[in-house]
């Protein structure tokens, strides 16, 4: 079955928000976007979980959106995070992104206030009806405290503005139910689940590891699309430990920022309440990066 937003199939990368001395490092942000453009990724997703959106001011959030679009310069698609637990705030941010030239909006399920499934449906419906750009529903109950049930996602798929699902539940049965009943473009929200999701009809990934090795994740996706399952499985196995530790050593984006600092591509700064990776975990991460073949600076 053809998917609703096929142009977003492939590799999207959830980019970090670089900080220097507590402020957004615009120069490094442009460098990160340029790195992804040169790697040939399909799309970047700024100001999501990996982009530390919960600690950005409203002005900073908008600035990262506009700077990312400017840096992309049409070379790749831009799908910023514009979600909120306030429907009015999510609409405001999504309208800003659309006006700034974003190609789509990535909207996490409303968090903390734990709405009913009807409330979730009405939340996304109101956002989708407020803009002309496609919406990607981001389902990550481990962070939001509320699963967006497959029946709700299927209802949302009846709305023309809802085009994609970022699937981060790890529940293959749930993903299968959505894929069987809709033409939504389903993207993995967990790097290590990319190949399993592709096997049941997923069309790509919104990746964290792509901040480090976009070429390898893109190669996995390309191999699968070509029917070269042996190469796809080999790349999945190669990437697995790196993917696991980037999300498992501490809350995202602490490990990915630490990793990028270790290879000279970020300062490693995170904002409170996030703190830097503790030394034993940093030492483990440095070993994982070196074993993968990445050029790690000495501690």
Catalytic option among 96, 121, 125, 166: 166
The domain spans of the chain are 6-227
Cα angle 119-126-141, degrees, rounded to a multiple of 5: 45
State residue 2's pLDDT score.
Answer: 63
Q: Which of 96, 121, 138, 292 is catalytic?
A: 138
* The pLDDT value given to residue 113: 94
- pLDDT tens digits, 166-177: 999 999 999 999
> What distance lies between CA 79 and its chain's CA centroid?
9
Structure tokens at 217: 């994740």
Q: Which residues contact 293 (CB under 8 A, 6 or more apart)?
A: none
DSSP H helices, 47-112, are 58-72, 87-100
- Do 16 and 64 contact (CB within 8 A), yes or no? no
C-alpha separations of 241 from 73, 130, 156 in Å: 34, 41, 35
Q: Is 96 marked active-site?
A: no
Task: Give the chain's residues under pLDDT 70.
Answer: 1-2, 299
Q: Is 166 a catalytic residue?
A: yes
Model-wide pTM > 0.85: yes
**What 3-state class would DSSP assign to 109?**
coil
Give residue 297's pLDDT. 80
User: For residue 276, what is the DSSP state?
Assistant: P
For the domain covering 6-227, report its CATH number.
3.20.20.70
């Amino acid at each position: 079955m053809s998917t609703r937003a096929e142009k977003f199939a492939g590799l999207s990368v959830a980019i970090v928000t670089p900080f220097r001395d507590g402020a957004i490092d615009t120069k490094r942000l442009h460098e990160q976007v340029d790195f992804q453009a040169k790697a040939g990724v399909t799309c970047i997703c700024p100001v999501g979980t990996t982009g530390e959106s919960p600690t950005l001011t409203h002005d900073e959030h908008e600035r990262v959106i506009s700077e990312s679009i400017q840096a992309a310069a049409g070379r790749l698609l831009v799908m910023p995070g514009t979600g909120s637990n306030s429907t009015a705030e999510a609409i405001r941010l999504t309208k800003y992104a659309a006006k700034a030239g974003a190609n789509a909006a990535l909207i996490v399920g409303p968090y903390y206030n734990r709405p009913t499934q009807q409330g979730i449906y009405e939340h996304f419906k109101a956002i989708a009806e407020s803009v002309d750009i496609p919406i990607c529903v981001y389902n990550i109950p481990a962070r939001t405290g509320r699963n967006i049930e497959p029946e709700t996602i299927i209802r949302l798929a009846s709305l023309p503005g809802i085009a994609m699902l970022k699937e981060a539940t790890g529940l293959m049965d749930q993903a299968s139910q959505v894929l069987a009943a809709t033409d939504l473009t389903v993207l993995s929200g967990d790097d290590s689940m990319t190949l399993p999701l592709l096997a049941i009809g997923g069309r790509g990934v919104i990746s964290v590891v792509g901040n480090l090795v976009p070429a390898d994740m893109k190669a996995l996706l390309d191999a699968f699309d070509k029917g070269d399952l042996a190469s796809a499985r080999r790349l999945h196995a190669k990437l697995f430990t790196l993917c696991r530790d980037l999300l498992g050593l501490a809350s995202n984006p602490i490990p990915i920022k630490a990793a990028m600092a270790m290879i000279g591509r970020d300062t490693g700064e995170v904002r409170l309440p996030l703190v830097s990776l503790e030394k034993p975990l940093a030492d483990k991460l440095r070993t994982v990066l070196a074993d993968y073949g990445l050029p790690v600076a000495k501690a």
